[in-house]
């Protein structure tokens, strides 16, 4: 994953960002039903970021 990010010129470390968000969510001590929804949204965000990187990588290879 890190190699793909470097190839794309993406210096953001989304994994660290996601881990930090998850820690903040845990420390918020939210009700279980809210936690489930928030955690699902966090995973959706993670998958969306991954798909965006894959699409960008594909565009790089198509141009070459």
pLDDT digits (tens, 9 = 90+) for 8-25: 666 555 567 778 888 888
Distance CA 21, CA 39 (A): 10
pTM summary value? 0.50
pLDDT of residue 56: 81
pLDDT of residue 52: 83
- From residue 10, how far is each of 2, 7, 23, 27 by CA, in Å? 9, 8, 23, 29
What totals of helices (H) and strands (E) does the chain contain, helices first? 3, 0
């Amino acid at each position: 994953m890190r190699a793909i990010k470097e190839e794309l010129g993406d210096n953001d470390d989304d994994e660290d960002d996601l881990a930090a968000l998850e820690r903040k969510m845990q420390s918020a001590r939210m009700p279980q039903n809210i936690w489930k929804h928030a955690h699902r949204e966090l995973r959706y965000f993670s998958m969306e970021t991954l798909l965006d990187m894959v699409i960008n990588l594909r565009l790089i290879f198509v141009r070459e």
